[in-house]
Structures are given as C-alpha cells and as structure tokens.
Amino acid sequence: MALADILVHMDSSGGCSARLDVAIILAARFRARLIGLYVITHQYYQPNNDQAETAAIAVRQMFDKKVAQAGIEAEWQCVDWSVIGVGLTEIISHHAHYTDLVIVGQSNPTAKDSDVPSDLPERLVLSAGRPVLIVPYAGLFPAVGERVLVAWKAGREATRAVNDALPLLRQARRVDILAINSSETYDDDGASLCANIREHLGRHGISANGERMIVTNASVGDALLNRACDEGFDLLVMGAYAHTPQGKMALGSVARHLLEQMTVPVLMSH
C-alpha cells in the first residue's frame, strides 16, 4: 500500500504556499501524482468574478513553478462552481474520492474575506472517505512524516487513523505511540497499553515505541502538542469523530483542540 494520488486544496490564503510544500514533499517521497484543486465559489448574489479569476491565475503560477522545480507529476484543476447549495466541502470530497490523501489548511480565525468555511477540515474528515492531512496556517514544515507521534486509544477512531497512515508510518524514521490517561489510578503501563498495536505495526515492518502519559493538570491536546514540540515530531496521527452516549457522531474534544491549536501537521481519519 502506497500513496499514488495526493490532492491538495489550493487557495489565496497566506498558508497555501507552505501547504503546497508539504504536499510536494510527500508526492516526491511516494512518487505520487499531485493534484492541485482550486475552487472558485459563488455566493447567493452574483459578484464580479474578475478578481476571483485573477487570484486563481496567481495561485496556479505558484503551483506550476513549485512542482516544476520539484520534478514531480502534477495536475492543476480549477473548478468554477456556481451551483447554489453545493459547498466547498462537497466539491473537495468529490475529488478526494479518487485520491489516497487529502491535504488542506487549518482554519485561520483571523483571516478576512475567506471563502473557506471555518469547519472545512473537520467536515472533510467526515465526508472525504480518505485520510485528511491538516497543515497549520502558520509556519514552515520542511519535514513531514519522518518523526510521527500517534495518539492511541484502543477503539475504532484511532485504529482507523493508524491504518490509513500506514504508508507514512512505513517511511518514517521514528514512530511513537502515546497512550494518554487522565487518571493516575489506571493500573497499566505504556508498553502493555500499546503492545497489541505495536505488534500489529511490527508485522507491517514498522518498529514503534510505546508509552503511557498521565495527564492531570493539562489537556490531552496540549500534552500531545508539547510532546511533539519537545521531541521534534513533525506529524501527529489521531482519530477524530466518535459516537456520543446519545448515539450521534461528534468531533472529539482532543481533535477539536488540535484543529484550533495545532503547531505541526495532523493526520485525521474516520
């Protein structure tokens, strides 16, 4: 199993260049085809599209220049979508169905006049049917997937994320599995908590470290981000949605915290 097609959402935001760099790094590593998807959206009124088309041309020029320098196979797709009631999430999800990985940007709460919904990443995780790699809107990420931290909790959510991350985990130089418990009364250690998933990964040729972390005075999300920062991890892998006691699907509190505060790229899956 490898990555053959990678889709990156392109836009006019300040973080798009760094997001494209991440996509190019992965496309080159896996010799995958990179698809740059730019969507011109329309509001309920009919605006003058000259500015939107000019922005699309500028972004395409950046895309063409970077992929040419990298020497990778690439394709540009600009979708001018005027159907009322069909949003950006549905458009990206439609194109994602024919790829192995979707790369999007973290929502920037300070961005003005953005056509990108603030909840685009979480909605894509639920609808794309593919793993979604979310890149922070600020910062540069020259290495992605070389040192991977997996947030582990035995269950469907983390299991799905780990399975979808297998191509990346196989290429990583280091993989750590971190089981975080909010109570010190849990009578287990990190090795046994992670033993089964470590053995499973081992059968895929992936050597992973396992550890349990006790979190008492900080949130689980902050604990993950602090560990990633302290030990130089360049990718977090985790589940996103879970069933509530009422039987509904909801974005987990840890996933929501990371979507708001992430400092490294995060791969989520559902």
pLDDT score at 206:
97
Residue 252 tokens read as: 């987990």
Highest mean pLDDT among 39-48, 176-185, 226-235: 226-235
Residue 257 lies inside a defined structural domain of this protein:
yes
pLDDT confidence band for 132 (50 / 70 / 90): very high
Q: What is the mean pLDDT of residues 114-138?
A: 91
Taking alpha carbons only, the member of 148, 97, 92 closest to residue 121 is 92
Domain count, the chain: 2
pLDDT score at 168:
98
Residue 21 lies inside a defined structural domain of this protein:
yes
In sequence order, what DSSP letters do the residues of 113-180 get, joined into one string? S--S-TTHHHHHHHHSSS-EEEE-SSS--S--SSEEEEEE-TTHHHHHHHHHTHHHHHH-SEEEEEEE
Do residues 164 and 57 share a domain? no
Residue 205 lies inside a defined structural domain of this protein:
yes
What element of type H or E holds 22?
helix 16-30
Residue 193 tokens read as: 């908590």
Q: What's the predicted TM-score (pTM) here?
A: 0.91
Residue 9 tokens read as: 């959402």
**Domain containing 17 — which CATH number?**
3.40.50.620
More confident site: 97 or 187:
97
Given a cut of 80, whether residue 114 has pLDDT beyond it is no
What is the overall mean pLDDT for the chain? 88
Tell me the three state secondary structure of residue 267. Answer: strand
Residue 142 lies inside a defined structural domain of this protein:
no
Do residues 187 and 131 share a domain? no
pLDDT confidence band for 219 (50 / 70 / 90): confident
pLDDT confidence band for 184 (50 / 70 / 90): very low
pLDDT score at 81:
74
Q: What is the mean pLDDT of residues 196-214?
A: 92
Given a cut of 90, whether residue 27 has pLDDT beyond it is yes
In one-letter notation, the amino acid at residue 206 is I
CB 239 within 8 A of CB 255: yes
Place of tokens 């922005």: 55
Given a cut of 70, whether residue 120 has pLDDT beyond it is yes
Q: Give the separation between CA 97 and CA 15, rounded to whole angstroms.
A: 24
Our CA angle for 47, 53, 57, nearest 5°, is: 165
Residue 269 lies inside a defined structural domain of this protein:
no
Q: Give the separation between CA 166 and CA 238, rounded to whole angstroms.
A: 12
Parent domain of 128: 5-135
Do residues 41 and 89 share a domain? yes
Do residues 18 and 129 share a domain? yes
Q: Give the separation between CA 9 and CA 92, rounded to whole angstroms.
A: 8
pLDDT confidence band for 45 (50 / 70 / 90): very low
- Select from 135, 166, 200 the last residue of a domain: 135
Taking alpha carbons only, the member of 245, 153, 165 closest to residue 206 is 165
Residue 9 lies inside a defined structural domain of this protein:
yes
Residue pLDDT, tens place only, 152-172? 988 888 999 999 999 999 999
Do residues 163 and 88 share a domain? no
Q: Give the separation between CA 220 and CA 167, rounded to whole angstroms.
A: 26
Do residues 195 and 224 share a domain? yes
Residue 128 tokens read as: 């794309």
Do residues 179 and 119 share a domain? no
Residue 268 lies inside a defined structural domain of this protein:
no
Given a cut of 90, whether residue 96 has pLDDT beyond it is yes
Q: Give the separation between CA 60 and CA 76, rounded to whole angstroms.
A: 7
Residue 130 lies inside a defined structural domain of this protein:
yes
Length of the chain: 270
Do residues 178 and 210 share a domain? yes
